[in-house]
A and B are shown apart, each in its own frame.
Chain A
Amino acid sequence: MAAVGTVPARENAGKGAISIRNVTKIYDPEGVNVLAVDDCSLEIAAGEVCMIVGPSGCGKTTLLSAIAGFHSITFGEIYLDGELLCGPGKPLADQGADRVVVFQNGALFPWMSLADNVAYGPTVQGRLNKTQAREKALDMLAEAGLADVGDKFPGEVSSGMARRAEIVRALINDPKVLLLDEPYRAMDALTKSIMHEALLEMYDRTKVTIFFITHDLEESIFLGDRVVVMTTRPCRTKKIVEVNIPRPRDYHILSSEEFRLLVDEANEAVHEEAIKAFEAGERELA
């Protein structure tokens, strides 16, 4: 956690405000309409770490897919820095390297070395040539504590290393927004805590806007500036918990009173929704 206060040398620094306005998403698999997101609005400031929590199947991934351009939306609009991503007449956002996704199960290309994976974005966009991209990739991997594994394939390194490399692969594109869908879900507590510190360290350096979906409330308070609790399906914002714990943060805050109170506050809201979801007969998809 060295680079606190230094001005991040990023072209897209201070960008990445997301505005989700009255978004509705209806899936219609085989003619049956599923209302996944209903009239959901949310403003995310540039450089904010916005944590999204909510019961399983409530529509969090749907929202992320709409921002990333994987799925269309039915009504409403989404803006990025005032520019329309998707809305009436353009239901599907273009995919682009200004909004990079880190996937739940990891999506490093297993057929490329870690360095090639990281270098992929700049190369394929034609921003850097192969040699430059590789050099930059190795530098960035080293900054993330992955100095010696650049030439390994993702299948050869631990899941924690792979996940860190995947975040580096996203950050090398200087994205406006980093979209993470439960990236640490399958990890043990120790690896998770190392991942958190690595992510916070990268965030303190880049101040990139982060949209982070999780089920883990402690994680959400520890990492986030705000925790947005979603209602059970259809998805709307139920409650927003402001986390005013100063940065840089480290593991000492976990035992603080303030932290506990915030977790309780979020927990109450989530619990209420979880019970509603249960009563509505929705199965918890663990």
Chain B
Amino acid sequence: MSEPVAGQPQPGVTPVQGPPAGLGMFLYKARKNLTGSTPYLMMGGIGLWLLTWWLLCEVFSVPRFEKMPGPVAVLSELFSVEPFLGISVFTQEYYQHIYLSCRRIFFAFMIATGLGVPLGLFMGWSKTVRDYAFPILETVRPIPILAWVPLAILMFAGFEAPVIYLATLASFFVTTLNTLLGVDSIDESYFRAAGCLGAKRRHIFWHVVVPGSMPFIFTGLQISIGVAWFSLVAAEMVSGDGGLGYLIVDAYMNNVTVPMVIGMITLGFVGWITSALVRLVGNRLMQWRVRALALEGR
């Protein structure tokens, strides 16, 4: 506690204590980020990639690339108010596709997490549960999502359910396995320490198993949301009704490549945002880890 120094009264000025908060913190972070190299390298990377694409397709029309839509064609379509091929940021349809895919991802990811995390935790915690579930999990896991499409269509009525089912399936396996590995990764001495301090088995589950596997769980969730996008798009291509996967395959069927590429870029971008959101939630829940890593300069 810093006492106001006698003889130096500063009416109206509160001494700064601790780190800045609110707007001050925001400005501090913004300044720190803008003075670092990260944003410039990021822009440089994107620029380089666009340039290569542009040179290959539109400037030199290198063989095998001349039929591909170049960045100028794609971006001018994407940002045109009256798009020639029907899809741009000014059309309702564009957002409809994004909305449909996001909604499916939301359900799939929630179901996969809601089932996968508890299953993984119990498998890691109890040998009996592991012995029951692990062989089945390992047998079903390598089956590619596309192989499930016919069964999914037979099993579920309508358009939504099969697509959500397929996306759920893929991310469920990733989540479960990572959670299980997370429990395995916990140092034995934490279990022993908890035991010494008088924790019963259920306390150990909530106070050691759950928080100790958090880092792996969130790494798993980031992968799992990516996997959910893969399989969602595959499913939308086969059986869907709307959605970004559908947009891509529909454009392909109609022999127009520009909306196809718009669909792909949008997909990448939305996918990136969703995994960033997962990371954000993870960092919120694991302040202990964030702060320790920050001290190591990471």
Contacts and interface: CB of A to CB of B under 8 A. Distances in A.
Given A109-B207, A109-B208, A124 B190 contact: no
Contacts of A105: 187, 189
Interface in B199-252: 199-200, 203, 207-208, 211-212, 214
Contact of A125 (B198, B288, B292): B198
Given A111-B214, A153-B287, A153-B292, A124 B195 contact: no
B197 A155 contact: no
Contacts of A121: 197-198
Interface stretch (A93-101, A204-212, A213-221): A93-101
Interface in B276-298: 286-289, 291-292, 295
23 contacts: A95-B192, A96-B198, A100-B197, A101-B196, A103-B192, A105-B187, A107-B187, A107-B192, A108-B193, A109-B190, A109-B193, A109-B207, A110-B292, A111-B214, A121-B197, A124-B197, A124-B198, A124-B199, A124-B207, A153-B291, A156-B291, A156-B292, A170-B196
Given A111-B212, A153-B291, A156-B292, A101 B198 contact: no
Q: Tell me the interface secondary structure of chain B in the complex.
A: helix
B280 to A, nearest CB: 18
A169 interface: yes
Nearest to A99: B196
A68 B211 contact: no
A70 interface: yes
Interface string A94-132: 011101110101011111100000001100110000000
B187 to A, nearest CB: 7
Nearest to A169: B197
A173 interface: yes
Q: Which of B193, B194, B196, B199 has the most CB of A within 10 A?
A: B196
Given A107-B187, A124-B197, A155 B192 contact: no
Contacts of A99: 196
A8 interface: no
A107 B289 contact: no
A69 interface: yes
A95 B203 CA distance: 14
A110 B288 contact: yes
Contacts of B195: 69-70, 95
Contacts of B286: 111
A111 B287 CA distance: 8
Contacts of A156: 291-292, 295
- Give the 10 A-B residue pairs with the shortest CB-CB distance, closest first: A155-B292, A111-B211, A121-B197, A125-B198, A95-B195, A107-B193, A107-B189, A153-B288, A97-B198, A103-B189
Interface residues of B, number: 25
Contacts of A154: 288
A68 B292 CA distance: 30
Interface string A71-112: 000000000000000000000000111011101010111111
Contacts of B189: 103, 105, 107
Q: Which of A68, A107, A121 has the most CB of B within 10 A?
A: A107
A120 B196 CA distance: 11
Contacts of B198: 96-97, 121, 124-125, 173
Contact of B192 (A96, A101, A111, A153): A101
Contacts of A97: 196-198
Given A103-B189, A107-B190, A153-B292, A68 B196 contact: yes
Q: Which of A101, A111, A112, A173 has the most CB of B within 10 A?
A: A111
B17 to A, nearest CB: 13
A251 B70 CA distance: 77
Contacts of A120: 194, 197, 199, 207
B124 to A, nearest CB: 16
Given A124-B198, A155-B295, A103 B203 contact: no
Given A101-B192, A107-B189, A156-B292, 15 more contacts: A68-B192, A100-B196, A105-B189, A107-B187, A109-B190, A110-B288, A110-B289, A111-B288, A111-B289, A112-B288, A120-B194, A121-B197, A124-B203, A153-B288, A170-B196
Contacts of A109: 190, 193-194, 207-208, 211-212
A155 B289 contact: yes
B266 to A, nearest CB: 38
B196 to A, nearest CB: 5
Contacts of B288: 110-112, 153-155
A100 B212 CA distance: 21
B202 to A, nearest CB: 10
Contacts of A103: 189, 192-193
A108 B287 CA distance: 16
A107 B191 CA distance: 9
A118 to B, nearest CB: 10
Contacts of B196: 68, 95-97, 99-101, 170
Contacts of A169: 197
Nearest to B294: A156
